[in-house]
Amino acid sequence: MIQGITSELLGYDYDLELVSNGEEAIARIARFRPELVLLDLRLPGIDGYEVCARIKEQSPFVKVILVSGNSLAVERLRGYECGADDYVTKPFDPHELLAKVRVFLRLSFAEEIGQLKSNLITLLAHETRTPLTRVLSSAQLLQGGDFDDSGHTQADLIDIIVRGTQRLNTIFEKSMALFREQATDADPEVLEELDLLMLVRSEAKRVLPLQTTVAIEVTGTPAIVRGNEAALRKAIGILLDQALERSSGSQSVVVEVSSREGHALLDVLDRGPAPQATDLSQIFELFTTPEIQHHSTEADLDRPICSAIIRRHGGSVIACLPHGGGLLCQVSLPLADGQELRDVS
C-alpha cells in the first residue's frame, strides 16, 4: 500500500526504486545512490532501524524518513538514534509527506555541495603545492640569470614551467568540471534520445587510435536513453580511457550494453591489476581529506566526474571485482520512456 501511494505521489517528479525488504534495500542503495529514502519500520528480515543505521554508515548525506503505524515517542527516539532525519506516522497526509521530501532533498543537496567544496579546496591546496613551487623556483632562476649551479639549462627550466603550468591548468579545469556536474541538474532543454550502444562504439573508435596494443570489444543491444550527448560521451570516454590505462599487452577491454527492468546497462571490464576490495565502494567518489594526501595525479578527478554525470542523468555507476581478476565498472541509466529494443544489426 505504501509503495502504491509513494509511486502515485512521487513517481512523476522523481526517479524511484521500490523494494520490499531490508536486505534488498541495502543492496539496491549501493547501486541506485538515492538522495532520500522513505523507510517503513516493519520490514521482513532486517527491520527499518537496522537498515537506517546501515544507510547512514554507508551514505551519510542520504536523508532517511521513517514511516510507521506506531506514534509512540520511544519508537521515534529510537529512529533518531539510528540516524533518521524525520518520522511520519501512518496514515499520513500526502501533501505533508511531499513537502517533507522536497525540504530534505534540498537539505541533502546543500550538505553534499558543502562537503564537495571542502574536499575540492583541500584537494587543490594539496595538488597545486608541488607544481607551484617548481614553477616559482624555476622562474626565479631564470629571472636571476644565474642558473648554472642548479644543474639545469635554460630550456630545462622553461620546460619545468610549461609542464607545471599545464598540470595546474588541468587540475583547475577538472575541479571546476566536477563542481559543475555535481552542483547542477540536467537541463531538459538539451536532453535528447540517444542509443547508448552507438555512443559506446563511437567513443571506442575515438580512444583506440591512442592505443597500439589493447583492443576494445563492444557487444550488446541498442538501449535508448535520454540525456546530454556531450556529457554522456565524456562519462563513457572516462570509463574506456581508464580501462585501457589499466590494461596491457594482448589484454582486451570488454564492453557490453544491455537493458533490463527499465534501465540501460553498460559493463566495462578490464583485466588489469585488481584494486583493493575495500576501495571499491569509494572508487567513484571524490577523495576524503585523509585520502587526498595519498593519491598521485589529477586524473583521480576523472572517476568522480564520470559518477557525477551519470547521477545527473538519474543513473548510477559502481565497481566490482569479477572472477578472473581485473575491474568491472557497471553503469545503469533509465531507459527513455522505459523502452527496451532488440538488436537489429
Is the pTM value of this prediction over 0.85? Answer: no
Structural contact between residues 341 and 322, judged by C-beta atoms closer than 8 angstroms: no
- With 0-12 / 13-18 / 19 or more C-beta atoms within 10 angstroms meaning exposed / middle / buried, residue 151 is exposed
Last residue of some domain: 38, 60, 92?
92
Q: So what's the pLDDT on residue 341?
A: 40
Last residue of a domain, one of 131, 150, 183: 183
Q: What is the pLDDT of residue 82?
A: 92
Q: Do 152 and 11 share a structural domain?
A: no
196 and 329 assigned to the same domain: yes
Task: Dihedral sign for Cα 93, 98, 99, 103, please.
Answer: positive
Instruction: Name the residue range of residue 148's domain.
Output: 114-183
72 shares its domain with 155: no
Q: How many domains does the chain have?
A: 3
Same domain, 47 and 155: no
Does residue 105 lie within any of the structural domains? Answer: no
Does 156 share its domain with 216? no
Closest CA to 191 of 235, 223, 224: 224
Boundary of a domain, candidates 134, 166, 183: 183
> Which stretches of the chain score pLDDT less than 70?
1-5, 11, 31, 116, 148, 150, 182-189, 209-212, 277-279, 281, 286-299, 338-345
Q: Are 134 and 253 found together in one domain?
A: no
Q: What are phi and psi of 123, to 5 degrees?
A: -60, -45
Question: Would you give the end-to-end CA distance of the chain in angstroms?
Answer: 43
pLDDT for the residue numbered 335: 92
Q: Is 291 inside a domain boundary? A: yes
- The answer to whether residue 209 is domain-embedded is yes
Q: Tell whether 147 is covered by a domain.
A: yes
CATH of the domain at 46: 3.40.50.2300
